[in-house]
Amino acid sequence: MPSSSTTTVTPSATAAAADGGVPAASTLWDVPPEEGESNAEDLIGAKGWEPSRQWRPVPWCWVPDWVAGGLGLLVLLPVAPFMAVLIGTGELSMALCLWVHRHSRGLFPALGRVVQRACATLGAHVLRDPRNADYLPWMIFLLLWAPSLFLWAMYRTATQGFDWTFFFVYHFLRIGPRFRFFARIHVLVHKEGHDHAGFFKPPFTFLNQLNQWVIGPFYGQVPNSYSIAHNKIHHQFHNALDDVHTNLDLDRTKPWSFVVYLPRFVLYWTGISPLIHFLYHREWKFARHMFQGMLAYYGGMAALCYWNPVFGLAYCIFPNTEDFIFFGGISYMWHCFLEPTDPFNQYVNSVTILKGKDNIWNEDFHVVHHHSPGTHWTDIPKHYQAHVELYRKYQATIFEDCEQGEMLFWLLAKKWDLLAQHFVDLNGKMTVEQKRELIIRRLSYTVGKARDEEGAKAKAAAAAASLKASKND
- What are the DSSP calls for 159-193, one per residue? HH---HHHHHHHHHHHH-GGGHHHHHHHHHHHHHH
CB 52 within 8 A of CB 448: yes
CA–CA dist 299, 285 (Å, integer): 21
Torsion of CA 298, 300, 306, 308, to 10 degrees: -110
Amino acid in position 66: W
Task: Check pLDDT > 80 for residue 79.
Answer: yes
Q: How many helices (H) and strands (E) does the chain have?
A: 22, 4
CA–CA dist 81, 114 (Å, integer): 40
In the predicted model, what is the mean pLDDT of residues 218-225? 97
CA–CA dist 295, 225 (Å, integer): 12
pTM recorded for the entire structure: 0.89
- How confident is the model at residue 165, as a pLDDT? 95
pLDDT tier at 3 (50, 70, 90 boundaries)? very low
In the predicted model, what is the mean pLDDT of residues 234-255? 95
- How confident is the model at residue 18, as a pLDDT? 37
Taking each helix axis as running N to C, give the angle between helix 164-175 and helix 318-334, from 0 to 180 degrees, rounded to the nearest 10. Answer: 40
In the predicted model, what is the mean pLDDT of residues 117-140? 97
In the predicted model, what is the mean pLDDT of residues 438-465? 86
CA–CA dist 83, 72 (Å, integer): 16
CA–CA dist 468, 465 (Å, integer): 5
Output the DSSP codes for 41-75: HHHHHTTTEEE-SS---TTGGGS-HHHHHHHHHHH
Read off the DSSP letter of residue 345.
Answer: B
In the predicted model, what is the mean pLDDT of residues 425-429? 96
Please write the tens of the pLDDT for every residue from 258-300. Answer: 999 999 999 999 999 999 999 999 999 999 999 999 999 999 9
- How confident is the model at residue 95, as a pLDDT? 93
Read off φ and ψ for residue 319, nearest 5 degrees: -60, -35
Task: Check pLDDT > 50 for residue 13.
Answer: no
What contacts 159, CB < 8 A, 6 or more positions away? none
Task: Check pLDDT > 50 for residue 320.
Answer: yes
In the chain, the N- to C-terminal Cα span, in Å, equals 27
CA–CA dist 259, 56 (Å, integer): 14
Choose between 163 and 38: higher pLDDT: 163
- How confident is the model at residue 471, as a pLDDT? 67
CA–CA dist 262, 71 (Å, integer): 8
Task: Check pLDDT > 90 for residue 125.
Answer: yes
CA–CA dist 351, 439 (Å, integer): 12
Please write the tens of the pLDDT for every residue from 21-42. Answer: 433 333 334 444 443 344 567 7
Cα–Cα distance list, 274 to 25, 118, 287, 296 (Å): 18, 40, 8, 16
CB 271 within 8 A of CB 357: no
Torsion of CA 254, 259, 262, 264, to 10 degrees: -80
Please write the tens of the pLDDT for every residue from 360-399. Answer: 999 999 999 998 998 999 999 999 999 999 999 999 999 9
Read off the DSSP letter of residue 227.
Answer: I
CB 29 within 8 A of CB 349: yes
Average pLDDT over all residues of the chain: 89
User: Which helix (H) or strand (E) element contains residue 354?
Assistant: strand 352-354
